Amino acid sequence: MDREIVATCFPGFEDVLENEIVALGGKNLSKRKSAISFMGDKEIIYRANLSLRTALRVIIPILRFSAKRDKELYDKLFYFKWEKYFTKDRSIFIDVTGTTTNFNHTNYIAMRAKDAIVDYYRKKFGERPSVEKDNPDIKITLHFKNDICTVYLNTSGDSLHKRGYRSLRGEAPINETVAAALVLMSGFDGESDFIDLMCGSGTIVTEAWLIANSIAPNLLRDDFSFKNFKDFDENLFESIKKDLKSKEREFNHKMIAIDNDPKMIEIAQKNSQKVANSDSIKFIIGEFDSYKPDNEKGFAVINPPYGERLKPEGLIDLYKRIDFHMKRGLKGYSIGVITSNEELSKEIRMKPFVKKTLFNGGIECSYKVYKIY
Ligand SMILES: C[S@@+](CC[C@H](N)C(=O)[O-])C[C@H]1O[C@@H](n2cnc3c(N)ncnc32)[C@H](O)[C@@H]1O
C-alpha cells in the first residue's frame, strides 16, 4: 500500500535527489527545503535506503496533529497505536525539530513525548521500551510547524552517507552524499572517462565508481532502522538486494584519481578497494595537472583546498593553474569545481553551465560545472 515518504538531503541537492526518486519509481513528488516527499510502498522504502545516492535519511510521517498545549501533545501520543510500528522490546530515541511558540523547550517536548509513548506500552503490555541515545532501534522525530506537529519514523537510522566503505578519513573529507551529487551534477553517467583531480581520501572517485558500475551505494551497509520495524519483510529486503546486484554493469572507461600527497593516495586506495578491485581505479601520486588524458571526452570533479592548509597567495596560484589546466589539458571535458572561496573561484575565468550554492559539512560552497571546448 502506498504511503507518504520523505527523503531528506543537504540544502541545494533537492533537484538531483528528485531525479533519483523519479528513477526509483516514487510517485507524486513534491519538492521541499532539503527534502523531497513522495508516495510509495514498503518496497520503495527499502529501495530508497539502499539506492539513493544523495539522500541523508528516509523518513515516514505516521501522525499529524495540532499541539497547542501540553495535554494535547501527551494525549495524541498516548492514544496512538504505536505497536503497529514497533514492539515494547525496542529501544527508542525522540528528537524535536522545527519551530513552535507553544512550548518553551524542545527538551521538554521530547521528554513529554517519551512519557506518553512509554506510558502507552506500560499500560497495554505491562512493559515499556527503553530509551537509548546512541544507536537506538527506533528513531522518532517530532517536527513542529507552528501549531502542527508531525511525527516521523526514521526508516534509515544513521545518516545514509555512512555507506560502509570509508573507514579512513583525510583532513577535509567531503560527505559521501555531497560527493555523489557533484558527480551526478557534472553529467557523468558512466559512458566516458572520469578524473578526480584532487582526490584526498577518495570519496568523489569512489562515488563516481559506484555510479559508473550502477552499484547501489548502501549495499555494504548492514544497519537500517526499518529492520527493527514490526512489519520488516526480510524476504522482500533480500530480493531487492539481489535485484540491485543483478543490475550492476561493467564500466569500460578509465577512472583516475590524483593527489600530490602520498598519504592521501594510500587512504583513497584503501577506502575505494571496499567497492572496487584494486586495479580498476588508477591512482596517481602527483600534481593534478601532470596527467594528460589521451581522449577528447570525459568528466572531472575538482575539490581543491579552500584555505585550510595553504596560505591565500599559494591558493591564488593554485586556482590560476586549475584554470590553465582546464583550458589547455582537458579539452572536451565537463569539469565541476567545488569551493567555499568565491574570490578564488573567480580565478577560473570561464562561464559555467551549472552554478549551484550548496553546503558541504555546514560550509556554504559554490559548485560550478564548465564545459571545455
Ligand atoms: C579538500 S581536499 C579533497 C578532499 C576529498 N574530496 C575527500 O573526500 O577526501 C584537497 C586535496 O587536494 C590535494 N592537493 C592540493 N594541491 C594539490 C595539487 N597541486 N595537486 C594535486 N593534489 C593537490 C590535497 O592533498 C588534498 O588531499
Residues 6+ apart with CB under 8 A from 333: 195, 293, 297, 298, 299, 300, 326, 371, 372
CA atoms within 13 A on the CB side of 131: 13
Q: What is the pLDDT of residues 40-59, one digit of tens each?
A: 999 999 999 999 999 999 99
For residue 155, pLDDT beyond 90: yes
For the stretch 15-39, pLDDT in tens is: 999 999 999 999 999 999 999 999 9
**pTM of structure:** 0.94
Beta strands in the chain (DSSP E): 3-8, 27-32, 35-40, 57-66, 92-99, 138-145, 148-154, 193-196, 255-259, 282-285, 298-302, 333-339, 354-360, 363-371
pLDDT digits 0-9 by tens, 214-271: 999 999 999 999 999 999 999 999 999 999 999 999 999 999 999 999 999 999 999 9
Please tell me if the CB atom of residue 303 comes closer than 6 angstroms to any atom of ligand 1. yes
pLDDT in tens, 191-216: 999 999 999 999 999 999 999 999 99
If 0-12 CB within 10 Å is exposed, 13-18 middle and 19+ buried, where does residue 249 land?
exposed
d(CA 93, CA 107) in angstroms, rounded, equals: 12
285 close to ligand 1 (CB < 6 Angstrom): no
Average pLDDT for 328-341 = 96
Per-residue pLDDT at 310 exceeds 70: no
Cell numbers 515516514 correspond to what residue?
60
Chain-wide mean pLDDT for the chain?
A: 94
321 CA: nearest ligand 1 atom = 19
* CA pair distance 335, 345, nearest whole angstrom: 13
- Enumerate domains of the chain plus CATH numbers: 3-154 (3.30.2130.30), 176-214+251-371 (3.40.50.150)
345 CA from centroid of ligand 1 (Å): 16
Residue 303 Cα to ligand 1 midpoint, Å, equals: 7
CA pair distance 310, 292, nearest whole angstrom: 25
346: which residues sit within 8 A by CB, 6+ positions away? none
What atom in ligand 1 is closest to the CA of residue 201? Answer: 9
Distance CA 140, CA 160 (A): 16
HSE-up of residue 35 (Cα within 13 Å, Cβ side) = 12
Which helix (H) or strand (E) segment holds residue 309: the answer is none
